[in-house]
């Protein structure tokens, strides 16, 4: 069931929108971390008080674990998207190859003559 859900949504995970969302969220997180670090180094009182609090440091640790798992999810989702697209491309190549073979048979049988050979050669040149 989980595999089917991911497969159904693989196009979303491999999209520019998903990549933009991931990059934007990373920039926001980096800005927040940078602000905390600069505030701590600059001895901003309330930030210093936060870092001295065991509860705050514990929450930061939990957040770091959450973000690590989120990154794993995102990376795995993009990987799945690549697999799905690779399989779809292989299926398309197989269909094109079957059409080329049929065109070649037609050309050899002289049903379509030189036109079939030209189309077959053009299709062959597009295959990797």
pLDDT in tens, 72-128: 888 888 888 887 778 878 888 888 888 888 877 776 766 556 677 777 787 887 776
Q: Considering only residues 40 and 104, tell me which one the structure prediction assigns the higher pLDDT.
A: 40
Residue 55 has pLDDT above 80, yes or no: yes
Residue 39 has pLDDT above 90, yes or no: yes
Q: Other CB atoms closer than 10 Å to residue 103's CB: what's the count?
A: 22
Residue 54 has pLDDT above 80, yes or no: yes
Q: Considering only residues 85 and 47, tell me which one the structure prediction assigns the higher pLDDT.
A: 47
Q: What is the pLDDT of residue 98?
A: 81
Q: What is the mean pLDDT of the chain?
A: 83
And the tokens for 71? 């990154």
DSSP characters over 6-47:
HHHHHHHHTSHHHHHHHHHHHHHHHHHHHHHHHHHHTT-HHH
Residue 71 to residue 105: CA distance in whole angstroms: 51
């Amino acid at each position: 069931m989980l595999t089917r859900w991911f497969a159904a949504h693989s196009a979303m995970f491999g999209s520019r929108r998903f990549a933009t969302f991931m990059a934007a969220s990373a920039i926001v997180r980096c800005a927040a971390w940078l602000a905390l670090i600069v505030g701590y180094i600059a001895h901003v009182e309330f930030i210093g008080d936060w870092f001295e609090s065991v509860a705050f440091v514990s929450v930061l640790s939990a957040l770091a674990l959450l973000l690590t798992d989120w990154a794993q999810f995102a990376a795995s989702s993009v990987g799945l998207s690549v697999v799905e697209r690779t399989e779809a491309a292989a299926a398309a190549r197989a269909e094109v190859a079957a059409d080329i073979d049929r065109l070649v048979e037609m050309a050899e049988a002289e049903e379509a003559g030189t036109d079939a050979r030209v189309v077959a050669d053009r299709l062959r040149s597009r295959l990797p």
